[in-house]
Amino acid sequence: MENEKKSRVGARAVKRNVRVSVTKMRRIIDRIRNCSYEEALVSPEFMPYRACYLVSQLVLSAAANASTNLGLKKSNLFIEEAWVNNSTSLRRFRPRAQGRGYPIKRPTCEVSVKLNSNFVGK
């Protein structure tokens, strides 16, 4: 019963204040949602986006949390949840004419991945 309880909990990994916009990160997260752990590691390698490396590191971290804290095998893991939300924007100012400052907002996002071993997807 204890193993069943642990497998229902799942392992999470969260990365906050990532210097990538939400839309750029979502196009990768949408591809790996409901995939197995192996598919989630292989598919970003063939995408030409800078955020793929960040997503693969996050999946690796969640898998390490699952194997270390919960004792789950990496070969049985599935991505149960994956989401991206807006985070705080970095605010910078650019000098403009007549001593004015023009604000520049640099977007950041928060990414979360949850892995589970007994997930039935699609």
CATH code of the domain covering residue 7: 3.90.470.10
pLDDT at residue 120, as a whole number: 55
Q: How confident is the model at residue 7 (pLDDT cuts 50, 70, 90)?
A: very low
Q: 64 versus 118: which is more confidently predicted?
A: 64
Q: Which helix (H) or strand (E) holds 116?
A: strand 109-116
112 by Cβ neighbours in 10 Å (0-12 / 13-18 / 19+) ranks as: middle
Domain count, the chain: 1
C-alpha closest to that of 95 among 105, 87, 84, 103? 103
Instruction: Tell me the average pLDDT across 96-122.
Output: 87
| Domain presence at residue 122 | no
| Domain presence at residue 103 | yes
pLDDT tens, position by position, 47-62: 999 999 999 999 999 9
| Domain presence at residue 42 | yes
The C-alpha atoms of residue 10 and residue 118 are separated, in whole angstroms, by 9
Q: How confident is the model at residue 117 (pLDDT cuts 50, 70, 90)?
A: confident
Residue 72 has pLDDT above 80, yes or no: yes
Q: How confident is the model at residue 1 (pLDDT cuts 50, 70, 90)?
A: very low
| Domain presence at residue 59 | yes
| Domain presence at residue 85 | yes
Instruction: Enter the pTM of the model.
Output: 0.82
The C-alpha atoms of residue 67 and residue 70 are separated, in whole angstroms, by 6
Instruction: Tell me the average pLDDT across 4-32.
Output: 86
Q: How confident is the model at residue 30 (pLDDT cuts 50, 70, 90)?
A: very high
Quote the domain boundaries for residue 94. 2-116
